[in-house]
C-alpha cells in the first residue's frame, strides 16, 4: 500500500514540477520587460498633465498611458460601439503590440495634433471586413479620423481604436514607464518628481519584477526538490555511518587504532569521503535554506502588492500577473506538500 502511495506521490510531484516549468515559460513569454506602472494611491481622479509627460518621454526612458472612453463609431455608413483609447505615439512599442497593416501614429502626427486612428484587428474586421483599411475615414462621435494602421493588441473580444490624446486635450491619471538599459527605479522616481508624482501620492508597481518573481517560482521548486533530496541522502549517510561507527567501536576493544586503520585502509578512505560528502551536502542545504529565507522575505513585499486593486486602465496587465501569481502559488504549494510527504515516507522507510 505504501509503495502505491509513493508511486502516486512521485507521479504528482513530476506533474506539478512540469506544470511549474511550463507556467514559467508562459510568464516569461509575456515579456513585461522593465515596465513600471505608476498610478495614484487613492481612488481619486488625480490627473497628470499629458504635455508635461511628453516632455520627459524619450529623454532617458519611454512612457505611455491610456484614457478610455466608450465611443460611437461610424464607418461605411454604419454605426458601431467601440472602446476609444487616447494615448501617445510610444504606446505600441512599450506594449509590444504588432502592427498588422500600415503603422502606428507617429510623433509628428501627435505634435501636429493630426486626427489619426489605429484600429485593432477586431475593429478593422467589424467595421470593414478586412485589415487593409489604411487611408479610410471613420467618425468618432462627430470627429473625423483617418485610419493609419491596424494593430494586434491581443484583444479579440473588443473593438478598440487608438487615437492621439492631444486631440482632446485630456489628461491621464496613470502611466507606464519602460525602464531599459539598466535604468534604476529610483532614477525614474526622481524624474517623475517634476510632474508632482511622488511615492507619498503615487504607487510604483514594477510589473517586470513581479513577472520575474512569478517565473522564478519553478526555480524555487527545483531548489526545494534538491533540498529534500539532500536531506534524504544525509539521513541515509547518517544511518550508514552510525552502523559503521558501532562496528568500529567494537573492534577498538580488541585492536589498536593504528592496526585497524592499517588493515582497513579502503574502509577508512570510504569513511573519510563519506564524511566529506556529508559536509558538502550540509553546506548545500544551508545555502538553499538561506536562499529560501531571502525568497520568502522578497515574497512578503510582493504579496502585499498583489492585494492591491488598481483602478487605472492598465488594470488588466496587473490582474493578469496576479492570476498567474495565484496559479503559481497553488502549484508550488502542492509541490511543497507533496515533497514533504515523499521525504517523510522515505525517512520512515529507512528508519525501520
pLDDT of 96? 86
> Do residue 65 and residue 132 come from a single domain?
yes
Q: Give the Cα separation of 48 and 175 in Å (integer).
A: 9
> Do residue 231 and residue 264 come from a single domain?
yes
> Do residue 151 and residue 232 come from a single domain?
no
How many beta carbons lie within 10 A of that of residue 236, not counting itself?
13
H/E segment holding residue 218? helix 217-252
> Do residue 81 and residue 140 come from a single domain?
yes
Torsion over CA: 326, 332, 334, 340 (sign)? negative
> Do residue 104 and residue 174 come from a single domain?
yes
Q: Give the Cα separation of 134 and 140 in Å (integer).
A: 16
Which domain covers residue 90, as residue numbers? 40-204
* Domain end call among 204, 225, 258: 204
> Do residue 340 and residue 198 come from a single domain?
no
Average pLDDT over residues 305-334: 74
* pLDDT reading at 2 higher than 60: no
The pLDDT tens digits of the residues spanning 197-229 come to 888 888 888 888 888 877 777 667 767 776 777
> Do residue 53 and residue 180 come from a single domain?
yes
* Domain end call among 183, 204, 225: 204
* pLDDT reading at 342 higher than 80: no
* pLDDT reading at 25 higher than 90: no
Three-class secondary structure of residue 142 per DSSP: coil
pLDDT of 27? 77
Judge if pTM exceeds 0.85: no
Of 80-94, 202-216, 231-245, the range with the lowest mean pLDDT is 231-245
* Domain end call among 204, 227, 248: 204
Q: What is the dihedral of CA 159, 164, 169, 173, to 10 degrees?
A: 70
Closest CA to 102 of 134, 79, 127, 71: 134
Mean confidence (pLDDT) of the chain: 80
> Do residue 190 and residue 280 come from a single domain?
no
pLDDT of 3? 67
> Do residue 193 and residue 130 come from a single domain?
yes
135 neighbors 142 (Cβ within 8 angstroms):
no
The pLDDT tens digits of the residues spanning 120-163 come to 999 999 999 999 999 999 999 889 999 999 999 888 889 999 99
> Do residue 230 and residue 145 come from a single domain?
no
pLDDT of 198? 81
Average pLDDT over residues 339-344: 78
How many domains are there within the chain?
Answer: 2
* pLDDT reading at 321 higher than 70: yes
> Do residue 126 and residue 13 come from a single domain?
no
> Do residue 163 and residue 281 come from a single domain?
no
Amino acid at each position: 500500500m505504501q509503495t502505491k502511495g509513493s508511486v502516486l506521490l512521485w507521479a504528482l510531484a513530476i506533474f506539478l514540477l512540469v506544470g511549474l516549468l511550463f507556467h514559467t515559460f508562459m510568464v516569461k513569454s509575456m515579456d513585461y520587460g522593465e515596465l513600471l506602472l505608476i498610478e495614484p494611491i487613492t481612488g481619486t481622479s488625480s490627473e497628470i498633465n499629458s504635455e508635461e509627460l511628453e516632455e520627459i518621454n524619450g529623454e532617458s526612458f519611454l512612457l505611455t498611458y491610456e484614457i478610455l472612453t466608450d465611443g460611437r463609431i461610424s464607418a461605411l455608413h454604419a454605426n458601431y460601439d467601440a472602446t476609444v483609447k487616447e494615448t501617445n505615439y510610444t504606446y505600441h512599442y512599450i506594449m509590444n503590440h504588432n502592427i498588422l497593416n500600415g503603422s502606428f501614429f507617429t510623433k509628428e502626427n501627435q505634435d501636429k495634433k493630426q486626427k489619426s486612428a489605429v484600429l485593432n484587428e477586431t475593429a478593422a474586421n467589424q467595421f470593414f471586413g478586412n485589415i487593409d483599411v489604411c487611408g479610410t475615414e471613420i467618425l468618432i462621435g462627430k470627429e473625423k479620423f483617418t485610419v493609419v494602421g491596424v494593430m494586434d493588441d491581443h484583444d479579440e473580444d473588443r473593438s478598440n481604436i487608438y487615437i492621439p490624446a492631444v486631440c482632446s486635450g485630456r489628461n491621464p491619471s496613470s502611466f507606464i514607464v519602460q525602464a531599459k538599459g539598466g535604468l534604476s527605479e529610483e532614477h525614474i522616481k526622481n524624474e517623475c518628481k517634476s510632474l508632482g508624482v511622488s511615492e507619498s501620492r503615487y504607487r510604483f508597481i514594477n510589473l517586470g519584477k513581479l513577472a520575474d518573481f512569478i517565473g522564478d517560482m519553478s526555480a524555487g521548486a527545483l531548489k526545494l526538490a534538491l533540498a529534500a533530496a539532500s536531506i534524504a541522502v544525509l539521513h541515509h549517510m547518517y544511518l550508514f555511518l552510525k552502523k559503521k561507527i558501532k562496528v568500529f567501536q567494537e573492534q577498538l576493544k580488541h585492536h589498536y587504532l593504528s592496526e585497524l586503520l592499517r588493515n582497513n585502509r579502503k574502509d577508512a578512505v570510504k569513511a573519510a569521503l563519506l564524511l566529506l560528502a556529508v559536509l558538502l551536502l550540509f553546506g548545500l542545504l544551508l545555502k538553499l535554506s538561506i536562499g529560501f529565507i531571502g525568497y520568502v522575505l522578497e515574497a512578503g513585499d510582493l504579496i502585499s502588492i498583489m492585494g492591491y486593486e488598481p483602478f487605472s486602465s492598465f488594470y488588466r496587465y496587473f490582474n493578469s500577473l496576479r492570476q498567474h501569481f495565484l496559479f503559481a502559488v497553488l502549484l508550488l504549494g502542492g509541490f511543497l506538500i507533496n515533497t514533504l510527504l515523499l521525504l517523510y515516507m522515505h525517512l520512515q522507510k529507512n528508519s525501520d
